[in-house]
Amino acid sequence: MITSSIKPPEGTVRDWLDYRATATPDRVAYVFFDGEAPLTWSDLRHKARDLAHKMTALGMSRGAAVAILQPNGRDAIINLYGVLYGGFCATVINLVAGAEAIGYALGHCEARVALVGEAQKEQFDKVRTGGIDLMPDIASPSTGALHDLHPEDDALLMYTSGTTGRPKGVMHAHSSLLAGGWTPTVAHKLTANDRGLCVLPIYHINGLCVSVLSTLISGGSLAVAEKFSVSRFWDQCAEAGATWFSVVPTIISHLLHAEAAPDQATRARLRFGRSASSALAPDVQRNFEARFDVPIVETMGLTETAAQILSNPLPPGIRKIGSPGKAFGNEACILSQDLTPLPPETQGEIAIRGPNVMRGYLKNPEATKDTFTEDGWLRTGDLGHVDKDGYIYVTGRLKELIIKGGENIAPREIDEALYSHPDVVEAAAFARPCASYGERVEAAVRLRQGSMLTPDDLVRLCVEKVGKFKSPDAVHFLDELPKGPSGKIQRIKLPELL
């Protein structure tokens, strides 16, 4: 078992925003591209408090769900903080989840008010239920008390991707939400002098907690891009004066295969880049660092843990390539099938316990019970082991294991073999039904433009790397692999897609 003795932040999001607005009122907190005006901490507090008063004047009860359907931008930041400041539950909707999943989330959360971006209003009108409507345009009361707010009050409701069934509503309190901003702050030693670059959607837990809320905890600042652009990324790093960024492995691979590169001043200023949401192939990490001279810190997180649970240390600390690192701010262990902790170098299920863990799944007590052990460990569904130094290695997902002839094959092994070829931009192995072995291995790949590789070339590469038994029987070339809101490849969708 691995643990951290550092104490998490106390209070609520309202307490922390009040603190920043009082201690450093004129310090810039969030900046935006495309001409949007920056927000200082006092600006943000004023606008958040104004929205909180408007919602309170509507008669909304403490903890009531408020749906937010907005892309990254100034309004999204203000509305997120406004809902949290008022003591309501920010129900952040994944804009690319599809009409059915969005409609389900809006009905399931029972929100009566929605904050919707201009471009999302048509989408909202198509899927909304009868009980929810747009936030009315009302004058803000100049006086009036807001709801009392406590650390364990509901703060965030975020729905999982639902790739294995109906989306589940993950509930976080103010305390776990703040802990979600604190874990990357302590792991990456973020300070008031740091400026992050956010290119991940803040309607995903990674962008929301790791980038937006770590800024609140560290007192630094954040440059918020509407979305990731491979052609603009390094220019945005330069324009913003970024000292760090948080991305996902597919973005790192796309940057590696693009012509653009950071200028010397940007390389010198960037302390690190952060990778999360899925496993980073070792060859991609090594090649990225060799080309751009920017260290990548691999991490791991979940919606259920307000993002980060594991991280490699910053340089000059030991970064173990192939591992998402050690626990920062929470406990981690490896559980056996009977849910007892296992010793080092023994494979089992990765489990987490700490202040960043969710309250549970909304209206789903059975799923909540199945996710927690009796002594409070949250089961991640990821398989792995811990080494003698406390670094955890992830070998695959319980639900994604390929069982060929009774032998478990982790798709990640095949992914990494495919990524070892410089022409492979995206890769994912998956299972297909097989009359002889029960399941067989196949893979989907996106190649760099102009590549002359054939599927047989990649099969031979896999045979060389992982052996014939584990190698794919077929490799399919796609223009793009299906991804979730964070950019994580959704391998579970590949069999149906192909």
**Strands (DSSP E) found in 14-85:** 28-32, 39-40, 65-69
Residues 339 and 425 in one domain: no
Residues 174 and 231 in one domain: yes
Q: What was the pLDDT predicted at 4?
A: 41
User: CA dist 236 to 184, 223, 264, Å?
Assistant: 22, 9, 14
Residues 372 and 412 in one domain: no
Residues 359 and 211 in one domain: yes
CA 166/CA 168 separation, integer angstroms: 6
Q: Report residues of the chain scoring pLDDT below 70.
A: 1-6, 142-143, 161-165
Half-sphere exposure (Cβ direction) of 180: Cα atoms closer than 13 Å: 31
Residues 216 and 333 in one domain: yes
Cβ within 8 Å of residue 379, ≥6 positions away: 335, 339, 349, 351, 370, 371, 372, 373
Residues 412 and 459 in one domain: yes
Half-sphere exposure (Cβ direction) of 333: Cα atoms closer than 13 Å: 18
Cβ within 8 Å of residue 232, ≥6 positions away: 225
Nearest to 428 by CA among 217, 169, 249: 249
Give the end of a domain, one of 369, 392, 415: 392
Q: What was the pLDDT predicted at 35?
A: 87
Residues 294 and 442 in one domain: no
Question: Could you say which DSSP state residue 208 is in?
Answer: I
CA angle 446, 452, 458 (to 5 degrees): 60
CA 472/CA 464 separation, integer angstroms: 12
Residue 4 lies in a domain: no
Residue 6 lies in a domain: no
CATH code (residue 407): 3.30.300.30
CA 185/CA 196 separation, integer angstroms: 11
CA 434/CA 424 separation, integer angstroms: 27
What single letter denotes the amino acid at residue 324? P
Residue 1 lies in a domain: no
> Whole domain around residue 443: which residue ranges?
400-497
CB–CB of 174/151 below 8 Å?
yes
Which tokens sit at 472?
């794919």
CB–CB of 198/212 below 8 Å?
yes
Residues 375 and 406 in one domain: no
Residues 233 and 348 in one domain: yes
User: CA dist 86 to 6, 24, 481, Å?
Assistant: 29, 22, 40
Residue 5 lies in a domain: no
Give the end of a domain, one of 341, 365, 392: 392
Residues 437 and 350 in one domain: no
Question: 1-24 pLDDT, tens per residue?
Answer: 444 445 788 999 999 999 999 999
User: CA dist 334 to 213, 345, 391, Å?
Assistant: 28, 10, 11
Q: Identify the three-state secondary structure at position 93.
A: coil
Give the end of a domain, one of 375, 392, 409: 392
Q: How far is CA 42 from the centre of its chain?
A: 28
Nearest to 321 by CA among 285, 288, 293, 295: 285
What single letter denotes the amino acid at residue 301? G
Nearest to 117 by CA among 72, 63, 162: 72
Angle subtended by helix axes 174-187 and 13-23, to nearest 10: 50
CB–CB of 306/366 below 8 Å?
no
User: CA dist 150 to 11, 31, 62, 173, 458, Å?
Assistant: 7, 29, 10, 9, 55
Residues 425 and 316 in one domain: no
Helix (H) or strand (E) holding 307: strand 307-311
Residue 147 lies in a domain: yes
CA 322/CA 416 separation, integer angstroms: 10
CB–CB of 173/458 below 8 Å?
no
CATH code (residue 288): 3.40.50.12780
Residues 373 and 419 in one domain: no
CA 275/CA 214 separation, integer angstroms: 15
Total structural domains in the chain? 2
Q: What was the pLDDT predicted at 2?
A: 41
